């Protein structure tokens, strides 16, 4: 029986507040690339440790490494300063711009700065734990440093160009027993979600 595709429900509020949290914690040069790389490590480490990602976004293996799909669309729109998408994406971009502003827009890589404090109540204790760990470990690295690191990640090296990354690859590096336990849980939860969707 073929393995099911594991997906999570995207939480735009979590994503926006993660970026605001990074910004208020003085992560330098917070542009789209750096946010994308840090978000990858946040979601990967939380999935490894607690069985779920923080943002719920899906990732694609693009030339610069794993990229969060919906989150990148939101950041692209914010930097472009126009809403070219319709419906929910407009709402997502507006939410992003409520918390963050784009600075150095005329430069090649505009950056994000917090306009307001993140809503900490939206985060679980484990979310904060992983965020702080990622900031400490990766926050001072450059975007290029992070690209080079993610190019060594199985999630990128084992995924063909531009394809959707299988979340099972986020678990590479764990011992086999732990990895299999998490995969079993993820697949069971995915089957439950699919049954629920079919019953609606």
At 166, the pLDDT band (50, 70, 90 cuts) reads: very high
**152 assigned to some structural domain:** yes
42 pLDDT tier (thresholds 50, 70, 90): very high
User: In this structure, what DSSP letter does residue 65 have?
Assistant: E
Residue 80 has pLDDT above 90, yes or no: no
Total structural domains within the chain = 1
User: Which among 15, 113, 125, 2 is positioned nearest to 71, based on CA atoms?
Assistant: 15
Residue 149 domain-assigned (yes or no): yes
Residue 143 lies in a domain: yes
Question: Residues of the chain with pLDDT > 90: what percent?
Answer: 80
For the chain, percent of residues with pLDDT exceeding 70: 90
| Average confidence score pLDDT of the chain | 91
**Global confidence as pTM:** 0.91
Q: Which helix or strand (DSSP H or E) is residue 61 part of?
A: strand 59-62
Angle (CA) 83-86-88 rounded to 5° is 105
Residue 6 lies inside a defined structural domain of this protein: no
Which range marks the domain in which residue 162 is found? Answer: 12-199
* pLDDT tens per residue across span 116-165: 999 999 999 999 999 999 999 999 999 999 999 999 999 999 998 899 99
On whether residue 7 sits in a domain, the answer given is no
């Amino acid at each position: 029986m073929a393995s099911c595709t594991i997906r999570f429900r995207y939480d735009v509020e979590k994503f926006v507040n993660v970026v605001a949290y990074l910004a208020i914690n003085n992560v330098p040069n917070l542009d789209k690339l750096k946010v994308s790389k840090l978000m990858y490590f946040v979601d990967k480490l939380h999935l490894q440790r607690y069985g779920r990602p923080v943002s719920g976004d899906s990732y694609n293996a693009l030339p610069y490494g794993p990229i969060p799909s919906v989150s990148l669309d939101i950041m692209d729109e914010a930097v472009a300063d126009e809403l070219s998408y319709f419906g929910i994406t407009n709402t997502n971009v507006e939410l992003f711009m409520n918390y963050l502003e784009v600075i150095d827009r005329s430069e090649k890589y505009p950056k994000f700065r917090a306009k307001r404090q993140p809503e900490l109540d939206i985060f679980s204790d484990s979310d904060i734990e992983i965020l702080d760990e990622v900031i400490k470990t990766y926050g001072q690295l450059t975007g290029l440093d992070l690209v080079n690191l993610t190019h060594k990640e199985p999630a990128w090296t084992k995924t063909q160009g531009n394809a959707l990354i299988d979340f099972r690859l986020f678990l590479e590096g764990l011992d086999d027993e732990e990895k299999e336990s998490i995969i079993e849980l993820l697949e069971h939860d995915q089957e439950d979600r699919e049954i629920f969707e079919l019953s609606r």
